Amino acid sequence: MSQFAILIYEDPTYYETMPPEGWAQVVDAHNTFTSQVAERGGTLTGGGALAPVTTATTIKGGSAMTNGPFIQSKEALLGYYVVDARDLDHALEIAKLCPATGGGVEVRPIVDPTVNNPF
């Protein structure tokens, strides 16, 4: 098994005006997703939702700090999962189930820097 990050990119404004029942549906969809990972033979090893991009602080060059996200874009990284999957195709099969109604997901292998240089 290899580890993959499923990065959830969505438009934050999608959630800003969402009624409480809409948020409950989002939570239910993510709970369903976590069940489906095991059903597909994968294992979730971590994950979480991130606070709004307005809470971000960016550090560049080791010391220059600014309020806000690293880049300004319509879609932002709002959450992630880490999954053990057989290979990239298996990780993609799992990622297609991940709820991201306000955007989409990105899948990236997690590398072991003691074994190889990913660049």
Q: Quote the pTM value.
A: 0.86
Q: Sorting pLDDT into bands at 50, 70 and 90, what band is 119? A: confident
Say if CB 98 and CB 33 are below 8 A apart: yes
**What residues contact residue 48 under an 8 Å CB cut-off, 6+ apart?**
79, 80
24 pLDDT higher than 90: yes
pLDDT in tens, 34-51: 999 999 999 999 999 999
Which domains occur in the chain, in start order? 2-109 (3.30.70.1060)
pLDDT in tens, 57-101: 877 777 767 776 666 667 889 999 999 999 999 999 999 999 998
Helix (H, G, I), strand (E, B) or coil at 47: strand
CA-wise closest residue to 54 among 27, 82, 76: 76
